[in-house]
Amino acid sequence: MTVNQLSIFLENRSGTLTKVLDIMKRTGIRIIASTIADTAQYGLFRVICSNPRQAYLELVNEGFAVAMSDVFAIEMENRPGQTADTVKCFSEAGISIIYMYSFLKDGKGILLFRTDDMETAREVIHRAGFKCVSEKDLADWK
């Protein structure tokens, strides 16, 4: 139901993001979606990629602090109001979204997010019949 996301700690220095991307390039890892949470002192680069385990090992090996966590990836129709309806299902169940980002794939919207209550969120997804993207889907996507 969830996919692996890498969160890479980036010092606020020019060149650090390039170094991360070069490592992924060299290893032949495709980035599927990414976002940067920026603060005044550092950045946190969140990445969904084709081979998170290998990317994790390579980045750690190169001296990066990398956290691997589970996030939900839900497939949605690409129409106005779909995100609102989806998020509402969680808020009505008393669940908060901690962070969220999205991308389009073959005309479908993919919503990536983490919540403060992963267990209840699973039940909500199950009850609402949301279609989840799996690790395997990500690896196969070209």
Binding-site residue total for another protein (CB under 8 A)? 23
Rounded Cα distance, 66 and 94, in Å: 30
* Interaction between residue 98 and another protein (CB under 8 A): yes
DSSP E strand boundaries for 12-52? 31-38, 42-49
Q: Confirm or reject binding of residue 21 to another protein (CB under 8 A).
A: no
Q: Does 139 bind another protein (CB under 8 A)?
A: no
CA dist 59 and 123 (Å) reads 34
Q: Which residue from 66, 5, 68, 10 is spatially nearest to 32, judged by alpha carbons?
A: 5
Q: Which of 24, 34, 46, 58 binds another protein (CB under 8 A)?
A: 46
Interacting residues toward another protein by CB under 8 A: 5, 7, 9, 11, 16, 37, 39, 41-42, 44, 46, 60, 63-70, 98-99, 114
